[in-house]
Amino acid sequence: MSLPDHELLELNALCNALADGAITATERARLEKMLAASDDARRFYVRAMALSASLFDYAGEMQADAPDLPARRIGRVPAWAWTAGSLAAAACVALAFWLGGVEKRDAASAVARAEQEGSDDSVARLSGARECRWSGAALQPGAELQPGQRIELQSGFAEITFDSGAQVTLEGPASLELGSAWDAVLHRGTLKASVPPEAIGFRISNPSVEVVDLGTEFSMVADASGATEVFVLKGAVEAHARDAAGNHLGSVVLAEKQARRFTVAGGSDVPDRDAKLAKLNRKFALDRYTRPANFVHWSFDEEAGPALAQTTGPADADFSAQLEPAGEARSAGTRTAGRWQRALLLDGRTFARAPFPGIGKRSARTVAFWINVPADAPLPDAGAMFAWSGAQGRATEIGWNRHPLDGALGTLRTAAGRNALVGSTPLRDGRWHHVAVVFSPKTKADGPVKIRQYVDGRLDGLSARRNGKRGRGAPAAKEPASAPQDVLWIGRNLAGHETAAHCRGALDELFIADRALTPPEIRHLMTQNRPLAPETLAAE
């Protein structure tokens, strides 16, 4: 806690006054100011208020569990103790509202959209185009796009795939400014956005409206007068109208085939809606810029035995992994029920090594796999799921976070050299999670390697940056000069330390690709357990 003592005392007093309903207007303003200014203050506040929330819970339980207490103390069941009946009834009522159009309803979206990207990193790439003419510098196919970059398209169609998985097709003349992997500003022109469930919360804004996606396909047309028309082609969006000063005027949820016109004066119906919808719904093919990827895949489906053969991979190389420690009668118990057929069971001692020529080279790659970490896995069992030695003595390790200062414990953590990226989705819950870590080296020869993490298909790797700092260097990422090159370690940190940490859990369906996979490709691996064929990629 880095708040000075006097501020901490003050904050504590304010939280107490708030919890007991005794806070004055001046105190509330002071608390608001402190919370706005300091991350530490917010953390203290959230923990303090959560303590009160827990106390409500325990106090309620005490009552329910103590029927022999005096009658006045036997309280009603807390209003928020739901029963199956009331819940189903609630769902029906809500549906009636929805169908009757009585009540507009904001709905689920992602808080995570607020995550900020590091300014030096790309947040999207130009993934497809047709007959593009650019105002200003022409964009190259496959170009990485930076936050703040403005895409000025004179004519033609350009498809941009954001790191979050959202895809936007611009129709020229149009101007789009990228904010982050989760948002962009449409200055003028027409766009169509397709947002998979993993990218829910993606938003497009402009001066008159902000559209937050609820898992859908929508179009926006911004004309020169500042008016914007929003069309929902599939699913639903939440549109927040704004006035000229940027103040929030109100929100509306638009469902499939609905449309709304927004100006700084407010919303209205869209003239010729059906004709415009039909035009926006037309399909056309784009040229894509994705070269086929090469994969090495271990399914871990062998019934037993110390050898873990690759299921697919180059014909002229053997990537078979060997379970260790060798010679122990451990191999019988090293398989378990997997996400797809059998999985490799890591008991905190077992690990495997696979020959992998070139794994240490500074080149683009994607490591995708399923992992199931027991909910009670202790910190010492946070050994790497995968590790390898890199160029210039840099090591790479993928595992779960055990450093409280780097971020939430038990979330996905990728350490490469001195940098660590920590996610926010807890992995340590005894459930299967799909993980993909994408490495893309910067063009500068010795520049850092950009890392993106996806957990269950959703971009999950920005928390360490959001706090304005990269994670601390992984202590285990220091490797001895003698560390073997061209070896992929499965289930442990790099060798060389007297006690390399081992991983506990189950691993399944490891794919290593020789380029940065796109969010749709990662989603396909997750749902189909096989790479997305190039022809499918082009057809989608």
Partner 1 sequence: MTNDTDPPPDRASQLMRLITEHQRRIFGYIYTLVPDRHDAQDILQETSVVICEKFDQFRPGTDFAAWACQIAYWEVRRARQKFARSKVIFNQEVVDAIAETAAELLPEMGARHEALAKCLQKLHPRDRELLLTRYEPGSGVEEAAQRSGRSLVAAYKALARLRKLLLDCVTNQLSLEGAT
The footprint of partner 1 on residues 435-494 (CB under 8 A) is 456, 458, 463
Neighbouring C-beta atoms of residue 530, cutoff 10 Å: 14
Cβ closest to partner 1, residue 200 vs residue 221: 200
Residue 370 Cβ, how far from partner 1 at the closest point, in Å?
Answer: 10
36 touches partner 1 (CB under 8 A): yes
CA angle 203, 204, 208 (to 5 degrees): 125
Identify which range of 59-67, 130-138, 290-298, 470-478 contacts partner 1 by CB under 8 A.
59-67
Strand partners, 178: 184
Segment interacting with partner 1, rule: CB under 8 A, options 7-15, 287-295, 352-360, 486-494: 7-15
Of residues 370-389, which lie at the interface with partner 1 (CB under 8 A)?
Answer: 378-379
- 3 contributes a contact to partner 1 by CB under 8 A: no
- Residue 510: exposure state from Cβ atoms within 10 A (0-12, 13-18, ≥19): buried
**Closest CB to partner 1 among residues 53, 445:** 53
CA distances from residue 472 to 44, 367, 392, 431 in whole angstroms, order as listed? 23, 22, 19, 28
Q: Is 18 in the site for partner 1 (CB under 8 A)?
A: yes
Within residues 192-231, the interface with partner 1 by CB under 8 A covers 197, 200-201, 215
42 binds partner 1 (CB under 8 A): yes
Query: What residues between 256 and 285 interact with partner 1 by CB under 8 A?
Result: 256
Segment interacting with partner 1, rule: CB under 8 A, options 12-20, 277-285, 313-321, 492-500 = 12-20
Six token digits for residue 196: 């998979």
Whether residue 325 is preceded by a cis peptide bond, meaning omega within 30 degrees of 0, is yes
* Residue 165, amino acid: G
Q: How far is the CB of 40 from partner 1 (least distance, A)?
A: 10
Distance CA 419, CA 405 (A): 14
| Residue 289 or 432 with smaller CB distance to partner 1 | 432
**Orientation angle between helical segments 39-65 and 25-37, nearest 10 degrees:** 120
Name residues contacting partner 1, limited to 101-130 (CB under 8 A): 105-112, 114
Q: Write down the least CB distance from residue 400 to partner 1, Å.
A: 11
Q: Cβ 118 to partner 1, closest distance in Å? A: 17
Q: By CB under 8 A, is residue 349 in contact with partner 1? A: no
Can you tell me whether residue 46 is helix, strand or coil?
A: helix
**Residues 415-434 as x/- pattern, contact with partner 1 by CB under 8 A:** ---------xxx--x-xxx-
Q: Using the structure block, give the residue that is written with the tokens 């660590």.
A: 420
> Least Å distance between CB 437 and partner 1?
18
Q: Which of the ranges 32-40, 304-312, 327-335, 474-482 carries the binding residues for partner 1, by CB under 8 A?
A: 32-40
Q: What share of the chain is helix, strand, coil (3-state, %, to 5)?
A: 25, 35, 40
Closest CB to partner 1 among residues 127, 180:
180
Q: Which is nearer to partner 1, 31 or 296 (CB)?
A: 31
Number of residues that bind partner 1 (CB under 8 A): 90
User: How would you classify the pairing of strands 183-194 and 203-206?
Assistant: parallel
- Tell me if 15 sits within 8 A of 48, measured CB to CB: yes
Which parts of 391-420 interact with partner 1 (CB under 8 A)?
Answer: 404, 407-411
Q: In the 3-class helix/strand/coil scheme, how is 144-213 assigned residue by residue?
A: EECCCCEEEEEEEEEEEEECCCCEEEEEEEEEEEEEECCEEEEEEEEEEEECCHHHCCCEEEECCEEEEE
